[in-house]
Amino acid sequence: MTYTIAVVGAGPSGLYATDALVSAGCTVDVIDRLPVPFGLVRYGVAPDHLSIRSVRDTLEKILERPGVTLLAGVEVGTDVTVVELLQAYDAVVLTYGASRDRRLDIGGEDLLGSVAATDLVAWYCGHPDADIEIIEDALDAATAAVVVGVGNVSVDVTRVLTAPRERLGSTDMPEHVLDALDRSGITDVHVLGRRGPAQATWTTKELKELGELEGVDVVVDPADLVLEPVSEALVAADRVVARNVEVIRGWAERGLTGAPRRIHLHFHSRPAEILGEGRMTGVVVERTTIDADGSANGTGETFQIPAQLAVRSVGYRGVALDAVPFDARRNVIPNVDGRVIEGDAAVAGLYVAGWIKRGPTGVIGTNKKDASATVDSLLADLEGTPARGGSGIAPVLRERGVQVVGFEGWRAIDAAERALGESRGRVRTTLHDRHTLMAAAKADGSSAP
Ligand code: NAP
């Protein structure tokens, strides 16, 4: 008899784990809280990054493999507990990612206009939980924006806020998103890096795109390119860092063309306060210096940037799941080689992969190796034990009246999105509200697995 495994999370790490499990002869139920699969490939990767988004095709093939059942629209912790999953399967792999934002913990962070990158990204990707009103209100009020953080999410957000309509118009962004970006009067986006250009975590390909946007100048302060010894050492040791600094130097040398929109890069600059009453009006920025160990220190010297939108793009954060051990300092599930541990002991049958295992780092491909390492641990533990049998959790969900979207339901959503896109001259338009997604899933009457 084959082992039956539950994978919680239908994003890249969950589906890569599924692939490895099925290849080893297991059957897998893939559970996701959203009514659609693909996690951050659908709701994180920027819609204009078509080649990265095409990973979806590879992930979809995994869902089509014999032995895989999609149970989408099922929230673990609400519709079913982890304990119930552990009783119903031979093992459970948690791959539910890191969906929350990290905060800056500065004054004014909750003023209108101050938003998390996670929320802005959810909005432009058409996530069903996105707060459309809050984001569009902030966008409508803004002519200048501050984006805090210099990682790849910061690059995505900055590009989406400044890109010409032609770049975004052919993507799968929902119509209300395209309309809001079209209306947007933002001319200046200020990107804040609390350390120097050598310490930024963006990758060169993504960074370069900022300098290739039609109608956008990149403004660089040459003083930021005078590197201290610790940064010089980084440039000498790391080719990616060297290339990033070279790209930024190129922009400083290129100068300005008088383009209608500008991206201003401010390094050695960290936000100290968001100004305003009710609605934000600007950001107080403190200048920093870098220590010999590479960390940023405030100098007490400040300047102000008038802005009506602030986007904190300072990383994602995993959240705890009922009855599952959690490391609240690192915001991950404690584990050794993917085995969830409580104290020194492994929790029988419980595993983790992806961002909730190691934190929000790496590109999509990183999750393949990570998931396969977890599956190796799981298979080694199961070796020689009898398979439990049974039909997983689907019958319980049916009994509880949970509206489950199976693979055919996803296919129906996919068809509806393609049809909507085609009607507007695009390949696809994302259906963004849960009700519409569920209605589309049921359109062919086969949403229940
Ligand atoms: P990230 O790479 O960790 O960047 C976070 C940024 O926030 C860093 O610049 C960090 O600076 C800064 N930061 C953190 N706390 C701060 C604070 N209190 N004040 C000011 N700045 C602060 O994270 P991310 O951009 O969210 O990306 C997450 C992961 O997804 C990354 O692995 C990324 O490569 C990946 N991703 C990839 C793509 C792509 O391949 N196209 C697109 C999006 C995301 P310090 O370094 O000084 O801490």
Q: What is the pLDDT of residues 186-240, one digit of tens each?
A: 999 999 999 999 999 999 999 999 999 999 999 999 999 999 999 999 999 999 9
Q: Give the Cα separation of 336 and 269 in Å (integer).
A: 37
Ligand 1 proximity of 363 Cβ (cutoff 6 Å): yes
Q: What share of residues in the chain are helix, strand, coil (percent, to 5)?
A: 40, 25, 40
Choose the residue to mutate in 121, 201, 293 for probing ligand 1, maximizing ligand atoms within 8 Å of C-beta.
201
Answer yes or no: do 217 and 106 share one domain. yes
Answer yes or no: do 173 and 227 share one domain. yes
**Residue ranges in 70-112 assigned as alpha helix (H):** 82-88
Residue 67 C-alpha from the chain's centroid? 28
Q: Which two tokens stand for residue 364?
A: 């999509």
Please say whether the beta carbons of 136 and 57 come within 8 A: no
Answer yes or no: do 161 and 286 share one domain. yes
Sheet with 309-312, side-by-side order of all strands: 114-116, 309-312, 144-148, 188-192, 261-266, 216-220
Please say whether the beta carbons of 185 and 143 come within 8 A: yes
Ligand 1 proximity of 53 Cβ (cutoff 6 Å): no
Q: Give the Cα separation of 21 and 125 in Å (integer).
A: 30
Residue 231's nearest CA partner among 273, 294, 288 is 294
Task: Point out the domain boundary residue: 388, 404, 420.
Answer: 404
Ligand 1 proximity of 152 Cβ (cutoff 6 Å): yes
Give the pLDDT of residue 393.
97
Ligand 1 proximity of 286 Cβ (cutoff 6 Å): no
Residue nearest to ligand 1 atom 33, measured at CA: 152
Residue nearest to ligand 1 atom 14, measured at CA: 314
The dihedral sign for the CA sequence 292, 104, 121, 184: negative
How confident is the model over 412-433, as pLDDT tens digits? 999 999 999 999 999 999 999 9
Ligand 1 mean position, distance from CA 203 (Å)? 11
Q: Which two tokens stand for residue 85?
A: 């999953």
pLDDT(447) > 50: no
Tell me if 441 is assigned to some domain: no
Ligand 1 proximity of 354 Cβ (cutoff 6 Å): no
Q: To which residue do tokens 């109608």 refer? A: 215
Q: Which two tokens stand for residue 420?
A: 């909507």
Q: To which residue do tokens 């609390």 refer? A: 194
Beta bridge partners of 302: 286
Angle (CA) 297 299 302, round 5° = 120
Ligand 1 mean position, distance from CA 423 (Å)? 37
> Helix (H, G, I), strand (E, B), or coil: what is residue 122?
helix
How much of the chain exceeds pLDDT 70, in percent? Answer: 98
pLDDT(386) > 90: yes
Answer yes or no: do 181 and 306 share one domain. yes
Answer yes or no: do 235 and 114 share one domain. yes
- Measured CA to CA in angstroms, residue 255 lies from 37, 211, 220, 262, 368 at distances of 44, 11, 9, 12, 41
Please say whether the beta carbons of 202 and 244 come within 8 A: yes
How confident is the model over 209-221, as pLDDT tens digits? 999 999 999 999 9
Ligand 1 proximity of 206 Cβ (cutoff 6 Å): yes
Task: Point out the domain boundary residue: 404, 419, 434.
Answer: 404
Ligand 1 mean position, distance from CA 305 (Å)? 22
Ligand 1 mean position, distance from CA 151 (Å)? 4
Task: Point out the domain boundary residue: 267, 291, 313.
Answer: 313
Domain that holds residue 159: 101-313
Ligand 1 mean position, distance from CA 313 (Å)? 7
How confident is the model over 287-306, as pLDDT tens digits? 999 998 889 999 999 999 99
Choose the residue to mutate in 52, 105, 152 for probing ligand 1, maximizing ligand atoms within 8 Å of C-beta.
152
pLDDT(350) > 70: yes
Q: Which atom of ligand 1 has the smallest separation from the CA of 314?
A: 7
Show Cβ contacts of residue 203 under 8 Å, excluding neighbours closer than 6 positions. 152, 240, 363
Answer yes or no: do 186 and 238 share one domain. yes
Q: To which residue do tokens 């541990």 refer? A: 341
Ligand 1 mean position, distance from CA 207 (Å)? 13
Q: Which atom of ligand 1 has the smallest separation from the CA of 205?
A: 41
Please say whether the beta carbons of 36 and 43 come within 8 A: no
Q: Give the Cα separation of 54 and 353 in Å (integer).
A: 22
State the total domains in the chain: 2
pLDDT(446) > 50: no
Q: Which atom of ligand 1 has the smallest separation from the CA of 316?
A: 26
Answer yes or no: do 155 and 222 share one domain. yes
Beta bridge partners of 72: 32, 405
Tell me if 435 is assigned to some domain: no
> Helix (H, G, I), strand (E, B), or coil: what is residue 116?
strand
pLDDT band at 444 (very low <50, low <70, confident <90, very high): low
Tell me if 241 is assigned to some domain: yes
